[in-house]
């Protein structure tokens, strides 16, 4: 397989799918350039080898084309600052200007295309379907769009360059034009960027050859969004710590009272199925016996502790309480491999963040004692950053949905597109 380190970029134009989906303030200024900095090593590798670079990314979820609020023109300065070199902005993806700029690109030069999602072809979802179509007609229209316009869009992007690099792990679970379809136009000249390479290696080693005991900490609000990954993990891990709003669906499914806590009654059969599956596989499920409960969802709320399965009406679970903190900490410290996806409480509100802090500190302590820890998913990453522990864990993944799908299915469309 071609790699970024064994490919000859001299005199070639590399089109790189990066993830510049960065937060902007009301003035259109980048407030966190982490994702831009993450792409720098890949870009500089091509430039240092006398190649030129065409950058492409999405930004947000624009509803119309074009929408100045989501224009990548706003981030040109931040990209130039990170790279230490001038970046030319094309202003579009498909027009004559973009094609001409790409054609005339010289070694050492960088250009940035406009937001890919200004074009429906990127995601392969037509935006102007007629109303009143049957499900079959709608499905047929979407398939035709993918076979026609999306293919043509990817072909046009591919025509700008001599080789393709995917360095956007956060979107590798999407079969989009820029992450999947385009790779087919570079049968012998496609590769992972350094960030993608690192992500694939880290997650593959975690799932294929972990040290035991292997514990997964799965938080978040809804069981429905984590069913697949929990079932996949039961096949791999020794234990799963379940936290966050999911706790109350599991408690209520077993006959508990959860007051006004977030709960998914339609997921009760699934929760019970997971409990039974874990039992059959000998996987320990660790849940907090108690909860910090609040009478409102704010920093000013009144709080008290209650059993997680006996929460009074008018109150909702917002964090684990003291028994849960002790149990989670002790369990984590006994593990050699730790995966964390999703906080165990409403960490954005300081009053409800102490449980997630205990989890983060326990992971950092276990890592210091030799455990391997991987943190993935936006909220978990935000947690370790909030508590100043990002440099105390083994690896932080840039992908939320991509990480979960990789664990669930063992691969991703964006990964397979490069490998095949």
Q: Is residue 2 assigned to a domain?
A: no
**Is 80 contained in some domain?**
yes
CATH number at residue 373: 3.40.50.1260
Asked whether residue 7 is domain-assigned, the answer is no
Among 212, 214, 220, 249, CA closest to 234? 214
Pairing of strands 290-294, 316-320: antiparallel
Of 214, 216, 212, 168, nearest in space to 193 by CA:
168
Domain boundary among 192, 225, 241: 192
Q: Are residues 393 and 267 in the same domain?
A: yes
- Contacts with 256 (C-beta within 8 Å, 6 or more apart), sequence order: 248, 308, 309, 310
Looking at the structure of the chain, the number of domains it has is 2
pLDDT of residue 91: 94
List the catalytic residues: 35, 222, 378, 401
Residue 214: which H helix or E strand, with range? strand 214-218
| Same-domain check for residues 187 and 204 | no
Which residues neighbour 135 within 8 Å (Cβ) at sequence distance 6 or greater?
none
Cα–Cα distance list, 41 to 1, 6, 36, 44, 308 (Å):
20, 15, 10, 5, 47
Task: Give, rounded to a whole angstrom, the gap between the first and last alpha carbons of the chain.
Answer: 9
Q: Residue 418: inside a domain, yes or no?
A: no
pLDDT at 378: 59
CB 385 within 8 A of CB 393: no
Task: Check whether residue 32 and residue 130 sit in a common domain.
Answer: yes
Q: 145 and 261: one domain?
A: no
Quote the CA–CA distance of 33 and 53 in Å, as a whole number: 19
Q: Return averaged pLDDT per consecutive 10 residues of the chain, 420 residues in all.
A: 95 97 89 90 98 97 84 97 97 94 97 96 88 86 92 97 96 95 97 95 88 94 87 94 94 96 95 96 96 93 96 96 97 96 90 94 97 86 88 88 86 94
Do 117 and 148 fall within a single domain? yes
The rounded distance, in Å, linking the Cα atoms of 149 and 155 is 10
Tell me, yes or no, whether 148 and 246 share the same domain: no
Domain boundary among 171, 192, 213: 192
3-state secondary structure of 200: helix
Of 192, 214, 249, the one marking the end of a domain is: 192
Residue-range definition of the domain harbouring residue 168: 13-192
d(CA 80, CA 72): 13
Q: Is residue 5 part of a domain?
A: no
Q: Are 167 and 192 in contact (CB under 8 A)?
A: yes
Q: For 54-187, where are the alpha helices, taking DSSP H only? A: 76-83, 96-103, 120-123, 135-145, 151-158
369-395 pLDDT, tens digit each? 999 999 987 588 888 888 999 999 999
Task: Look at the alpha carbons of 364, 366, 368, 372 in this order and tell me if their dihedral is positive or negative.
Answer: negative
- Structural domain includes residue 6: no
* Cα gap 50→105, rounded to integer Å: 12
Question: Residue 12's pLDDT is what?
Answer: 98
**Distances, alpha carbon 276 to alpha carbons 215, 254, 287, in Å:** 18, 12, 15
The stretches of 33-134 forming alpha helices (DSSP H) are 34-48, 76-83, 96-103, 120-123
């Amino acid at each position: 397989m071609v790699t970024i380190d064994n490919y000859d970029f001299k005199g070639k134009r590399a089109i790189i799918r990066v993830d510049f989906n960065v937060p902007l303030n009301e003035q259109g200024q980048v407030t966190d350039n982490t994702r831009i900095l993450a792409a720098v090593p890949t870009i500089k590798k091509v430039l240092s080898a006398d190649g030129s670079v065409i950058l492409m990314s999405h930004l947000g979820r624009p509803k119309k084309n074009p929408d100045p609020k989501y224009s990548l023109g706003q981030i040109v300065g931040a990209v130039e600052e990170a790279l230490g070199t001038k970046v030319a902005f094309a202003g579009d993806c498909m027009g004559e200007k973009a094609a001409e700029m790409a054609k005339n690109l010289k070694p050492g030069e960088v250009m940035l295309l406009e937001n890919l999602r200004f074009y429906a072809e990127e995601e392969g979802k037509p935006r102007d379907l007629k109303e009143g179509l049957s499900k079959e007609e709608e499905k047929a229209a979407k398939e035709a769009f993918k076979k026609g316009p999306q293919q043509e869009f990817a072909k046009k992007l591919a025509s700008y360059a001599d080789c393709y690099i995917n360095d956007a792990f956060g979107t590798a679970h999407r079969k989009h034009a820029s992450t999947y379809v385009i790779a087919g136009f570079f049968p012998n000249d496609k590769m992972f960027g350094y960030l993608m390479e690192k992500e694939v290696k880290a997650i593959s080693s975690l799932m294929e050859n972990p040290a035991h005991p292997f514990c997964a900490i799965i938080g978040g609000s809804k069981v429905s969004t984590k069913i697949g990954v929990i079932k996949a993990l039961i096949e791999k891990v020794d234990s799963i710590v379940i936290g966050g709003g999911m706790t109350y669906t599991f408690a209520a499914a077993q006959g508990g009272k959860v007051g006004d806590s977030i709960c998914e009654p339609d997921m009760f059969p699934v929760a019970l199925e997971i409990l039974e599956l874990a039992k059959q596989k000998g996987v320990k499920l660790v849940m907090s016996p108690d909860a910090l409960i609040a009478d409102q969802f704010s920093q000013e709320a009144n709080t008290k502790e209650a059993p997680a399965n006996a929460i009074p009406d008018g109150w909702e679970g917002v964090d684990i309480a003291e028994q849960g903190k002790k149990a989670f900490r002790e369990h984590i410290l006994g593990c050699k491999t730790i995966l964390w996806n999703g906080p165990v409480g409403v960490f954005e509100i300081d009053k409800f963040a102490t449980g997630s802090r205990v989890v983060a500190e326990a992971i950092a302590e276990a890592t210091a004692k030799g455990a391997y820890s991987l943190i993935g998913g936006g909220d978990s990453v935000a947690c370790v950053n909030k508590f100043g522990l990002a440099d105390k864990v083994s690896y932080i993944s840039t992908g939320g949905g991509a990480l979960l799908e990789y664990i669930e299915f063992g691969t991703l469309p964006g990964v397979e597109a490069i490998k095949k």
